[in-house]
């Protein structure tokens, strides 16, 4: 199956300083740009205008599309170099932040799931008493920058079967992907599981998360399809049941 990020540029209409123009970007870069704009809580046109202004101040200005790609690469590098701290999430404020991070990761990043599937999966950010209660019963490890920007989280849930635990959530913010954060979170979650006397971890991994869990030593037990409702009818989302012995 072809990966969704191997796609040629798509021309899109934008407005810069009141002037209509267009930009041709691969969908993976356009989705990433939307994520950055959402993080800054500004329209995507405003972010492109900012990048356009910065590129024109260069001694050898690249084209607008190239400038956008270079700017995104710079954001990735800056986030990779930022100091990351880890702590156990605790309380409604943390849980609400993680609900938003999870929503953004599902919707704003390149994904093997269709838009309808992502809407069915998560129609809105999770928050409120039910969400807070679910996370309060788990060990939730939060990674954040020294500026308190949430970069990712992973959670460990106790199972009734003795010695078994479940990795319930594992989400990484777009700018932190590819930085090794998934491994850093997982290694601490596994250490916590061992400290609790667990000898087996289980999870249900999305199409995006399955390779990361496999790299941590999880084996696929079987593939599943979960049916979820959406405004355009039921959607069947693929995922993998996985397990690792400690």
CATH of the domain at 174: 3.40.630.30
Q: How many structural domains are present in the chain?
A: 2
Residue 99 and residue 50 share a domain: no
Is residue 202 in some structural domain?
A: yes
Residue 126 and residue 55 share a domain: no
Residue 99 and residue 62 share a domain: no
Q: Which of 58, 81, 104 is the last residue of a domain?
A: 81
For 187, the domain range is: 84-245
Residue 58 and residue 14 share a domain: yes
Residue 220 and residue 161 share a domain: yes
Residue 233 and residue 202 share a domain: yes
Is residue 3 in some structural domain?
A: no
Residue 107 and residue 44 share a domain: no
Residue 92 and residue 69 share a domain: no
Buried b (16+ CB within 10 A) or exposed e, 157-186: beeeeeeebbbbbbbbbbbbbebebbebbb
Q: Which of 29, 52, 81 is the last residue of a domain?
A: 81
Residue 37 and residue 15 share a domain: yes
Tokens 């009141």 -> residue: 18
Residue 229 and residue 113 share a domain: yes
Q: Which residues of the chain have pLDDT under 50?
A: 1
pLDDT at 6: 80
pLDDT at 80: 63
3-state secondary structure of 107: helix
Residue 57 and residue 114 share a domain: no
Cα–Cα nearest to 141, from 130, 128, 154: 154
CB 176 within 8 A of CB 79: yes
pLDDT at 111: 80
pLDDT at 1: 46
Is residue 2 in some structural domain?
A: no
Tokens 């969908």 -> residue: 27
Residue 146 and residue 219 share a domain: yes
């Amino acid at each position: 199956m072809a990966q969704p990020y191997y796609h040629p540029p798509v021309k899109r209409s934008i407005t810069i300083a009141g002037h209509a123009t267009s930009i041709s970007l691969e969908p993976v870069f356009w989705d990433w740009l939307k994520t950055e704009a959402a993080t800054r809580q500004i329209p995507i046109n405003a972010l492109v205008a900012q990048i356009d202004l910065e590129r024109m101040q260069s001694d050898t200005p690249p084209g607008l599309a190239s400038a956008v790609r270079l700017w995104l690469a710079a954001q990735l590098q800056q986030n990779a170099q930022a100091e990351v701290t880890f702590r156990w999430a605790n309380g409604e404020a943390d849980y609400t932040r993680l609900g938003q991070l999870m929503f953004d990761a599902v919707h704003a990043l390149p994904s093997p799931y269709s838009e309808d599937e992502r809407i069915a999966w998560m129609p809105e950010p999770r928050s409120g008493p039910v969400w807070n209660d679910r996370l309060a019963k788990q060990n939730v490890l939060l990674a954040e920058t020294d500026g308190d920007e949430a970069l990712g989280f992973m959670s460990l849930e106790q199972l009734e079967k003795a010695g078994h635990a479940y990795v319930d959530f594992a989400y990484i913010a777009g700018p932190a992907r590819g930085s090794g954060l998934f491994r850093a979170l997982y290694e601490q979650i596994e250490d916590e599981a061992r400290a609790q006397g667990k000898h087996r971890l289980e999870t249900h991994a999305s199409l995006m998360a399955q390779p990361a869990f496999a790299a941590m030593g999880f084996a696929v037990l079987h593939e599943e399809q979960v049916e979820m409702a959406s405004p355009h009818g039921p959607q069947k989302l693929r995922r993998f049941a996985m397990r690792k012995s400690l």
